[in-house]
Structure 1
Amino acid sequence: MTNRTPPSPAVAEGLREVPAAALELLNLPLLDGLRDGQVRGRHCLWCRRGPLTSETAIDLGEQMSPLSSDSDSSRMRWYPRACRRCIRTRAYRALLDHVHPGPCEPCENAAPGCEIGRALNRLLREGRRR
């Protein structure tokens, strides 16, 4: 038996994974245009606001991306995070544009919608929290 302490709600929120298809709609930037703090998750991926804390950041999970737009570029592991304002804006745009693979019948006809729609709605809600 172990005496593990359950994670706090703020930490637990960041541990949920965002589906790759939803991340694709958020248009993560290429690594070659980012600063070290953005790659390591200390600063917002888009606006460079920082330093981010567990209360102010939305964790986008571990990513594997090419180091540059070069097709022969090696891949690097990185840990993007975003400020709440940027994630709210990006998720709202993706939902509003209904790009996912739109028009999406499950999202239009059923309350829970598809996996991508649910993920974007969750990111939008998390971006609104203070």
Structure 2
Amino acid sequence: MPETMSATQALAMLPLPEFHTLSQDQTRGITCAFDGVGLSPATAVSLGERSLRRVGGRVSWFPRACRRCALEQAMNALVAHSQTCEQCVDDSNLCPTGSGLVRAVREARR
């Protein structure tokens, strides 16, 4: 049985804009990390804990996205992954990353 990946884990793998290009509200999860739209608990999708190396150690931050951007980013990641993954070509249900990204797409659509 293949290892599974949750939607939360897959969302935490999505690439983000460079940290130094984000506003303070984007880095704090108050606005979408991608387009800067204001977020509420009902409209926000957590992109997981991220770690940033700073002088003296590492700092954690918790970016969030609006549902539209989370869906777009998850779909882009799913397409890019499935084009290069042999397992996804054979049987996408057996690929932990591919199935996790499918879960992330579903989570963003809710």
The letter for the 1-side match of 2:28 is: R
Q: Which residue identity does 2:73 align to in structure 1?
A: R
Structure with the bigger percentage of helix: 2
Q: Which residue of the partner structure matches residue 24 of structure 2? A: 36
Q: Give the alignment partner of residue 83 of structure 1, picking from 66, 83, 91.
A: 66
Deviation at 1:53, TM superposition (A): 2.1
> TM-score if structure 1 supplies the norm length?
0.67
Identity of aligned residues (%): 38
Distance 1:106 1:76 in 2: 35
The whole-number CA distance in structure 2 between the counterparts of 1:53 and 1:35 is 17
Given that 1:31 and 1:66 are in contact with CA atoms closer than 8 Å, whether structure 2 keeps it comes out as no
Q: Deviation digits for residues 44-80 of structure 1, max 9, x if unmatched?
A: 0100011x1222111111111235xxxx785321001
Where structure 1 has 5 or more consecutive residues not aligned to the other structure, the ranges are 1-15
Q: Which runs of 4+ in 1 moved over 4 A?
A: none
Contact 1:43 1:82 (8 Å CA) reproduced:
yes
Q: Which moved more, 1:119-128 or 1:41-50?
A: 119-128
**Is residue 47 of structure 1 aligned with residue 16 of structure 2?**
no
1:97 Cα deviation from its structure 2 partner: 2.5
Q: 1:120 to 1:73 in 2, by over 3 A?
A: farther
Where relative contact order (Cα < 8 A, 6+ residues apart) is larger, the structure is 2
- Aligned-residue Cα RMSD (Å) equals 2.6
Number of residues paired by the alignment? 105
2: CA distance between counterparts of 1:53 and 1:110?
Answer: 37
1:62-120 CA-partner distances (Å, limit 9, x unpaired): 111235xxxx785321001111100111111122233x6x5212222224232221221
Match of 1:105 among 81, 86, 89: 86
Pair 1:94-2:77 in alignment: yes
TM-score (structure 2 length as normaliser): 0.77
Match of 2:8 in 1: 17
